[in-house]
Amino acid sequence: MKKQRIKEKIGLHPVMFLLILCFIVIVVSGILSFFNVQATYNKVSSVTGDYQATTEAVVSLFSLSGLKYIFTSTVSNFANFTVLSNLLIILIGIGIMVKSGFLKTVIALMTKRVKKNTVTFVLVLICILSSIIGDLAYVVLIPLSALLFLYGKRSPMIGIITSFAALTCGSGISLFLTSIDSSLLNMTLTNAYILSADYTISSLGYIIIMPILIILLSFIITYISENIIAKKVTKYEFPEEDVEEELVITKKKMRGLLLAGGAGLIYLLIFIYNIIPGLPFSGNLLDYSQNLYIDKLFSYNSFFSNGFVFIVAVLFVILGLFYGIGAKTITNNKEFIDSLGHSLNGIGKIIVMIFAVSIFINIFKYSNIGGVITAALANLINSSNFGGLPIIILLFVFSIISSLFLPNALNNWSILSATIPTMMQVGVSAEFAQLVFRLGNAVSIGLTPVFAYYIVYIAFLANYNQSNKAITMIEAIKYQIPFAIISCIGFLIIIIIWYILSAPLGIGTSIAF
């Protein structure tokens, strides 16, 4: 008992852990800057198409200018930290679905006669496929996965851990070209043009390998979740009334489900019609300044991309409201407004965590330590004498390492894509190099607090934690390590098999240049 109490006392709260990391970054950036630590690599200019020597240097925060930056940027950075605003908006929608009873009824009805493994597999599959909407999936699916397991009479922490693993490890996998993939392809092609001015990559360039990766990863994450994580997570204590309660679909609940389903369907049909181009009065949510449909849908200037979180939140509000009206769980406007704020009750601790991580990410990004590490790794690849499979594995491993410090795929690939000409010179296609990078990036982003949406994961773990001790950053990372290791092995096996067989990646693409 004494040992257990000691452990509970010395566990670092995530906020304290992040503040310590901030201090470490400030000191380390000062030391590295003093010794002029930097890395210079050849970057292809998107304007001229020629090589440009680009230097990534560490910026000191252990200085007057650095400290001024921290104090002057903290408030504005937190105010513009999209993780917070997106999460708050989604929680408003989830709140009314919970308070009205819609989610509890739907989830209990869907999972009543379904095996636990099947529920987990479907959740994992949905999370992987949701990579098409980018980082927004984290604020939508992590809260919902907790409720899925809670109402399914299982620990919500298993749902949180599983969904985060699926979202991160599956972030580089998609059946269709995503907006991130489109941006990455532009960088890839810019570098490929150095050796081949007419190099092209099909939008269906990964259509063969992606389904295999999706199925493989779904089984891997489901197996780990059910056979490793479920045993590690402490038993969740449900209220006695919830344990004994059996689902009974009354006439009121059925009326609520029918009203919610009808209203939600009408909303979705209107929404879908407005993202289809070419029909009368359709396509109003698209950005027509873009060429590819995926860019029209998800570009930074598109209405759909900028308003997606609110679009989802409104859907949730409609479902919860109409279910409440039909089931008589919402009978007046006061109950409606109270329901909207239901999931925001006790959210103060989560806001403090998000504030702490916004400070950490801001100063770490400003220090440019991640950029220097990534540039140094790119130089190592370009200066290596490897060819074929060894250089592919090297890129995969270095992508994993660099993503711990620079998890944003676009920022990372803007540097590592400088290895494309080297890869092509040894017979590796540019599209295969990009795929290898994406898989390496997916392996490690779930292990680093530098990744902005990592805080959503740990915040909800803390929210459902019933233990007397706080969930620490180290503990949260430990939950993700099995997923990262097995996914890494699985991805590497697929990469090696594809290389040995010289199998096509998709339509019009291959592993060889």
**What count of other Cβ atoms lies within 10 Å of the Cβ of residue 391?**
23
Q: Whose structure tokens read 């599956």?
A: 170
Q: What is the pLDDT of residue 382?
A: 92
Q: Output b/e per residue, 68-104; b: 16+ Cβ within 10 A.
A: ebbeeeeeebbeebebbebbbbbbbbbbbbbbbbbbb
At 200-252, the pLDDT tens digits run 888 888 999 999 999 999 999 999 999 999 999 988 887 765 554 556 778 88
- pLDDT at position 2 is 45
Q: Which one has a higher pLDDT value, 243 or 317?
A: 317
Give φ, ψ of 149 to 5 degrees.
Answer: -75, -35
The C-alpha atoms of residue 126 and residue 148 are separated, in whole angstroms, by: 13
pLDDT of residue 246: 58
pLDDT the model gives residue 294: 73
pLDDT(411) > 90: yes
Beta bridge partners of 57: 38
> Which of 105-109, 183-187, 329-333, 447-451 has the highest mean predicted lDDT (pLDDT)?
447-451
Tens-digit pLDDT profile for residues 70-85: 999 999 999 999 999 9
Q: Supply the pLDDT for residue 245.
A: 56
**pLDDT reading at 3 higher than 50:** no
Tokens of 513: 């240049």
CA-closest candidate to residue 440, choices 410, 414, 407, 473: 407
Report in angstroms the alpha-carbon separations of 190 from 21, 45, 210, 415, 443: 36, 8, 24, 12, 26
Model confidence at 1: pLDDT above 50: no
pLDDT digits (tens, 9 = 90+) for 117-156: 999 999 999 999 998 888 889 999 999 999 999 988 899 9
pLDDT tens track for 24-47:
999 999 999 999 999 998 888 767
* pLDDT for residue 6: 43
Separation CA 34–CA 36 (nearest Å): 5
